[in-house]
Amino acid sequence: MMLELSVSVLRKGSAAHLGAVVSIKSATGATTEVGRFSVAGEQQSYQFNIARALGREASGSAEVEVALIDRGGGAAPANAALAIGRAEISVR
């Protein structure tokens, strides 16, 4: 099972190394980090293997959370923002 995610940068802010943490929240309420990425361009696509995060709940629903971080350390700038273009789970 793969999470296919596309993001666009609205504002990068002052972070030299802006990134994001991607997590899945299952129907039971358990939240699991499935990956991280660095923001390098205006629009990017990523794939994350989420089979372990969803386990037996593969046929249920889940929420995707994308939280901004400063990969260089510290908090992400308050004025940084991403837009999620697509978040889709596919079974392969």
Across-strand partners of 45?
6
AA identity, residue 33: E
Inform me whether the pLDDT recorded for 31 exceeds 70: yes
Work out the pLDDT band at 71, boundaries 50, 70, 90.
confident
Q: What is the pLDDT of residue 42?
A: 83
What DSSP letter does each residue of 17-82 carry, written as one string?
TEEEEEEEEETTS-EEEEEEEE--SSEEEEEEE-HHHHGGGTTS-EEEEEEEEETTSSPPPTT-EE
User: Given this model, what pLDDT does residue 15 score?
Assistant: 63
For the chain, the average pLDDT equals 85
pLDDT at 84 (0 to 100): 93
89 band by pLDDT with thresholds 50, 70 and 90: confident
Structural domains for the chain: 2-90 (2.60.310)
What number is the average pLDDT over the span 32-40? 91
